[in-house]
Amino acid sequence: MLRLLGLLLVIWLVVSVIGAVIEGLFWLTVVGLLFFAATAAIGWTKRNDGTALPRGR
């Protein structure tokens, strides 16, 4: 589960950078950063409450 969240974080970061680089796509930067923050929050809570699968499974 955490591996999937890590992958999503990378995807949202790339989307945000693309939105910042390409002029006129500022909305893409905002959406990417919002999804990045939401995914990071979910990952943080899963890591702290122990509901994530243990390594090796």
pLDDT tens for each residue of the chain, 57 residues long? 778 888 999 998 999 989 889 878 888 989 989 999 999 998 888 877 765 556 665
| Exposure letters 18-33 (e unless 16+ CB within 10 A, then b) | ebeeeeeeeebbeebb
DSSP, residue by residue, the chain: -HHHHHHHHHHHHHHHHHHHHSTT-HHHHHHHHHHHHHHHHHHHHHHHHT-SPPTT-
Predicted model pTM: 0.71
